[in-house]
Amino acid sequence: MRILYLILLWSLICCGQVFAETLELVTLQYPPYEFKEGGEVKGVAVEIVKEVFQRMKQPIHISLHPWARSLKKIEEGKADAIFTAYKNPERETYMDFSQEVLMPQIVSLFVRKDSDIAFDGDLSKLKQYTFGTVIQVSYGTVFDNAVKNKIITKIDHPAHTGEMNLEKLLRGRFDILVSNKYGAIAILTAMNARDKVKELSPEVQSVPSYIAFSKKRNLVYVRKEFDKVLRQMIDSGEYDAIIKSYFQ
């Protein structure tokens, strides 16, 4: 009888119907997607993640860290999941990415308001300029490959946060900021500096970002259930309603 009970319990776990203790989720300070305000972690991506896990009846705890530290926690199995992460071959060696896209993100270039730098979509034409980035943040395949292939060669010492990076742009430490569009706008708004920076057009790339689970934590069944519930929210229109409440 005990063996039958254990088999039943294991089948329920594998189907995503039974979950263990509180899952530890990590991310970074990246408004409007993830940020801390009044001691509470908020943001459009946070709201979606919380809603999915609430429907799964799975307790979670979300903490913010510098991105490099969050990635390390996932790689070492010291946290269960991370968001909003771009997918690349290196990360796929230690992360189990969701099948569903958690949040599409637009990557754009920003310069100081008085800059005469122009962009026509060809990054090679900007090779003479210095770019500002955040440490260990991926900016999508277009920009990442431009750096890897030495099309872009001048990178300022990476900052630890988006806020620090924008401050460096305003001080003239580098020429061009590469950033998530809405993240940069949210930070500039908080800094009361929207009129000091301009976005170059066109955008560099629209990049899908995901929630990803540490492979060391063996949470494939949780990831599958997360995908299922997120897809239900997308199909019902509830997902879009959350997005529009932040960006309308």
Residues 45 and 161 in one domain: no
Residues 95 and 50 in one domain: yes
Query: What is the CATH number for 234?
Result: 3.40.190.10
- Calculate mean pLDDT across residues 103-131: 96
- Calculate mean pLDDT across residues 87-94: 95
Return the top range by mean pLDDT from 8-22, 28-42, 182-196, 206-220.
Answer: 206-220
Residues 70 and 122 in one domain: no
Residues 95 and 33 in one domain: yes
Residues 97 and 211 in one domain: yes
> Quick one: pLDDT at residue 30?
85
Residues 238 and 170 in one domain: no
Q: Which domain holds residue 7?
A: 2-103+207-247
Backbone angles phi, psi at 194, to 5 degrees: -60, -30
Residue 177 reports pLDDT greater than 90: yes
- DSSP for residue 157: P
**Mean pLDDT for all residues in the chain:** 91
Give CA angle at 61 (55, 67), nearest 5°: 115
> Quick one: pLDDT at residue 246?
76
> Quick one: pLDDT at residue 50?
98
pTM confidence score: 0.70
Task: Give the bridge partners for 112, in sequence order.
Answer: 197
Q: Where are the alpha helices (DSSP H) in the chain?
A: 2-14, 44-55, 67-76, 89-92, 140-148, 162-170, 181-190, 220-236, 238-247
For 14-60, the pLDDT digits (tens) are: 544 445 589 999 999 888 899 999 999 999 999 999 999 999 999 99
Name the pLDDT band for 118 (thresholds 50, 70, 90).
Answer: very high
Q: Looking at the 3D structure of the chain, how many domains does it have? A: 2
Residues 160 and 97 in one domain: no
Contact 169, 110 (CB under 8 A): yes
